Amino acid sequence: DAGVIQSPRHEVTEMGQEVTLRCKPISGHNSLFWYRQTMMRGLELLIYFNNNVPIDDSGMPEDRFSAKMPNASFSTLKIQPSEPRDSAVYFCASTIRGSSYEQYFGPGTRLTVT
């Protein structure tokens, strides 16, 4: 298995632009998580899905952030409009709900907003 796939790996954009991050979970995994990691705040859960349904989005910082999971093999995290404080590494992780809860992380997308 290729593991969790994220794209792009790096994104540099200007403040105010829309940014879309993509994730393909491991085949057969039915839970998907979006995290943000910064030096100041560490690894924070933004939102997670079970069976494509958003379960908890309390970690989404504000309305500029939105996430979708239209099917079991694809999810997006969108920031519109982006701001410099959104600069971080965004990780996607997946697991099998009801199993050991070990989450498998993708390689991350390093976002820089100038």
Position among 33, 34, 65, 90 found at the interface with another protein (CB under 8 A)? 33
**For another protein, the closer CB: 12 or 55:** 55
Q: How far is it, in rounded angstroms, from Cα 100 to Cα 2? A: 20
Cβ 42 to another protein shortest distance, Å: 4
7 binds another protein (CB under 8 A): no
1 binds another protein (CB under 8 A): no
Contact 11, 112 (CB under 8 A): yes
CA dihedral 60, 67, 6, 4 (to 10 degrees): 90
95 binds another protein (CB under 8 A): yes
28 binds another protein (CB under 8 A): no
- Which of 25, 84, 21, 32 has the alpha carbon at shortest distance from 57? 32
- Which of 21, 33, 11 has the alpha carbon at shortest distance from 77? 21
31 binds another protein (CB under 8 A): yes
Contact 14, 113 (CB under 8 A): yes
Cβ 22 to another protein shortest distance, Å: 15
Using CB under 8 A, list all residues that contact another protein: 31, 33, 42-45, 48, 50, 55-56, 91, 95, 97-98, 100-108
